[in-house]
Homo-oligomer: A and B are copies of this chain.
Amino acid sequence: MTKRNDEKLTKPPNGDAAIARAATLKPIREIGERLGVPWEAMAPYGHTKAKIDLDYIASLADRPDGKLILVTGLTPTPPGEGKTTTTVGLTDALSAAGENVAACLREPSLGPCFGMKGGAAGGGHAQVVPMDDLNLHFTGDMHAIGMAHNLLAAMIDNHINWRNELNLDPRRVSWRRVMDMNERALRDIVIGLGTGNGMPREDGFDITVASEIMAILCLATDMADLQARLARIVVAETRDRQPVTAADLEADGAMAVLLKDAIRPNLVQTLENTPVFVHGGPFANIAHGCNSVIATRAALKLADYVVTEAGFGADLGAEKFFDIKCRMSGLKPAAAVIVATARALKVHGGNAVQHLEEEDVEAVRKGCDNLRRHIRNIRSYGVPAIVAINRFPSDTDAELDAIAEEMRTEGVETSLCTHFADGGAGAADLARTVTEVAARDEADFKPIYPDDMELLDKIRTVAQKIYGAADVDAGHAIRARLKNLEKAGYGHFPVCIAKTQYSFTTDPNLRGAPSGHTIPVREVRLSAGAGFIVVICGEIMTMPGLPRRPAAADIRMHADGHIEGLF
């Protein structure tokens, strides 16, 4: 062990980690007070994190809302586009320009930090801090969600074990268990073995962020709404195929109590001491991939500008932000920033990933088809779009000029950003564009489909209008399931489509802007508590595994308290 550690000490420190460690954090009390939050309404977690009381947030109801800016992206590519860094950079730039601004981000999951290296919220000079805490237990929200989830699971098997008065069918329990860990070996398990340990049945663990409770926490408007949503969760069917809910098992009250602190938004800061709410982090495939409604609403009462982020590319992330989060909560975005890079455009234009460092203006121009589709999609929601080009050192002037020219023909404003290297100063132009667009007050947000459309038509609408597909392919069993859900009273729910984030199609290798394809629906799941219908169109992984050499093997604590290898 000594040898191993000595070897590690000679390694140069990681760039992001070194920058984060060099940051001067302000006491969280000051960050909150800058937004006008009194100290009594903050529950500190250490000196640089705090939770904000819900009663205080409720007391702000009569205040006007600030302007909500969504940061989204083109279709993601292997090198990454920098959506989170752009969110942080834009927030810092607005702050530097004298605006009262806050960002709203998702909480990172702990488990994956021990798999592939690179937990984090942002990077370079556009980071949220304290980074170690964000990547570890933070304020415990993830653990609370896991406990609430697993309490419900325990009460299901306990009910079956005793007298099963609800006549619950052990073969039809859909509520699995969760752990915030990359745990391949727990994906498919058999539980209840041995004498006196209940009824043996197949089960499995998902990673905690995939829990419906995470989606519920992020969509709930207050504690009462949270408990009501928890009560509605459907966990199993009876032998007569009737749904069994968390309320039937009388689990909802205890689950709500377990979440009493997790429901309060967390306040932290950027490297430049701008306030950031980091709260909730549902999956962006089987869930809607946005931070909590409570945090976003609180931020809008406290700040004039709120910059938030949605998962994956705009076809999945922004679509769900608009059609699920904004629809349910009444949020009205003022503008959306689409983050793109020359490298990503090259990939969408047919360039191989290994040649990204070489100039290829033609590929960049061709790749703009992908960006163009996302811009038009955003506009179809009545939301003005802005393109942020996140500049990389290898980008050439010819490439950047080509993007600007392509975007001019689309009539969209673009800003070149260097926040990764320069912090907020690198996003000053983007901040100017955002405030100008927002000041025009052009946004007239409406979801892409109405609540009362049939479920299959909702899926088709998203597939055609957003993905550019010709149609959806839903077999008899899927159609019957959708009809049954409508009969059971869930027809007004929005749909939450789970498909690959790497293409407008269901084939991750089809980049660019393919159209005329078919979206096959493989499976439909009810998230009755979250309030949406999950439509699965491809392979969805809800429990990651560790790689051959997990990042955990290189993580350690130095004697001076600094953590090596975490991000």
Smallest distance from the beta carbon of A88 to chain B beta carbons, Å? 24
- Mostly helix, strand, loop or mixed at chain A's interface? mixed
Please determine whether B253 and A557 come into contact, CB atoms closer than 8 angstroms.
Answer: yes
- Do B546 and A155 touch across chains, with their CB atoms under 8 A apart? yes
Residue numbers in B under 8 Å from A247 (CB-CB): 1
Docked pose: A155 CA to B4 CA in angstroms:
18
Decide if A484 is an interface residue (CB 8 Å cutoff): no
Closest to A255 in B: B552
Q: Interface-forming stretch among A191-199, A321-329, A339-347?
A: A191-199
Least CB distance from A248 to B in Å reads 10
Residues of B within 8 A of A179 (CB): 150
B contact residues around A140 at 8 Å (CB): 137, 140, 143
Q: How far is the CA of A346 from the CA of B341 in the complex (A)?
A: 80
A357 part of interface (Cβ distance < 8 Å): no
**Docked pose: A140 CA to B262 CA in angstroms:** 12
B550 lies within 8 A of A223 (CB): no
Contact with B along A173-209 (1 / 0, CB 8 A): 0000101111111111111111011110011000000
Asked whether B147 lies within 8 Å of A251 as measured between CB atoms, the reply is no
The 8 Å CB contact of A254, one of B114, B256, B545, is B114
Is there an interface contact between B194 and A566, defined as CB atoms closer than 8 Å? no
CB <8 Å contact, B1 and A252: yes
Query: Contact: B136 with A154, CB < 8 Å?
Result: no
User: Known: A144-B137, A151-B552, A251-B552. Contact between A187 and B180, CB under 8 A?
Assistant: no
Q: Are A189 and B188 in contact (CB under 8 A)?
A: no
A43 touches B46 (CB 8 A): yes
Apart from the given pairs A45-B46, A154-B182, 12 other A-B contacts in the complex at a CB distance below 8 Å:
A44-B46, A136-B261, A155-B546, A184-B197, A185-B192, A185-B198, A188-B193, A188-B197, A250-B552, A253-B553, A253-B565, A257-B557
Q: Which of A457-507 contact B (CB under 8 A)?
A: none
* Residue numbers in B under 8 Å from A196 (CB-CB): 184
Q: Contact between A191 and B181 (Cβ–Cβ < 8 Å)? A: no
